[in-house]
């Protein structure tokens, strides 16, 4: 993949390779981010799980506590 002469700011987590990227990045469909630093990007999957749990809880509360999907 060619290096982007104007890379986006921040750090990215590549879900296909499991690597953190900065500057020259993989395909957008394979990336999570941007994150402010390498350490945060390394936690991308954990962050995504936390956000999903929080949104699921909000959905349950909105439905009145009904756990059925």
- pLDDT tens-place string over residues 18-69: 999 997 678 989 999 999 999 999 999 999 999 999 999 999 999 997 665 5
Maximum pairwise Cα distance, the chain: 50
At residue 63, the pLDDT reads 92
Q: What is the pLDDT of residue 9?
A: 77
pLDDT for 2 equals 60
Distance in angstroms (rounded) separating the CA atoms of residues 20 and 47: 14
Per-residue model confidence (pLDDT) at position 14 = 96
Which strands, in side-by-side order, build the sheet including 31-35?
A: 19-22, 11-14, 31-35
Give pLDDT, residue 58: 95
Distance set, CA 42 to CA 9, 12, 48, 67 (Å): 16, 8, 12, 32
- Tell me the domain boundaries of the chain: 11-62
Asked whether residue 1 carries a pLDDT value surpassing 80, the answer given is no
């Amino acid at each position: 993949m060619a290096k982007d002469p104007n890379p986006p700011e921040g750090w990215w987590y590549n879900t296909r390779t499991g690597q953190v990227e900065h500057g020259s990045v993989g395909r957008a469909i394979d990336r999570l981010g941007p994150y402010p630093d390498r350490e945060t990007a390394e936690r991308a999957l954990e962050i995504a799980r936390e956000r999903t749990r929080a949104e699921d809880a909000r959905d349950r509360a909105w439905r009145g506590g009904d756990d059925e999907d």
